[in-house]
Amino acid sequence: MGEHAARDRVILSDASGVRRTVVKDFYERFERAFSPEMAAFVAACRGEQTLSLTLADALDATRIGLAITRSLHSGLPEAV
């Protein structure tokens, strides 16, 4: 996403400055986000905690994803 996007390139900006790195795949790029989500999901399946997301959240995510797909196919903006 963003300007000059590439499937395997990540641009990191923090207090240390701006640097670029290359990742092998999608999972490696987003592992730090997926790992806590997966742990929370497993804990909910075990009855150890409740899910923080609702069915309404899932419906909204689906609605947004479908609007993105329509926009990609038509080249036009979609209302969300």
Tell me, what amino acid is at 56? A
What pLDDT shows up at residue 6? 61
What is the C-alpha separation between 80 and 44, in angstroms, rounded?
30
Pair 5, 20 in one domain: yes
Mean pLDDT per 10-residue interval, the chain, length 80 residues: 60 84 74 87 94 91 94 91
Tell me, what amino acid is at 32? R
What pLDDT shows up at residue 75? 92
What pLDDT shows up at residue 7? 60
Containing domain of residue 65, as a range?
A: 53-80
Please name the residue that has the structure tokens 């899910």.
51
Pair 36, 71 in one domain: no
What is the C-alpha separation between 53 and 68, in angstroms, rounded?
21
Contact 21, 8 (CB under 8 A): no
Pair 30, 64 in one domain: no
Structurally, how many domains does the chain consist of?
2
Pair 22, 61 in one domain: no
What pLDDT shows up at residue 1? 47
At 71, list the tokens: 């926009």
What pLDDT shows up at residue 19? 84
At 53, list the tokens: 């997301």
Pair 29, 8 in one domain: yes
Pair 40, 2 in one domain: yes
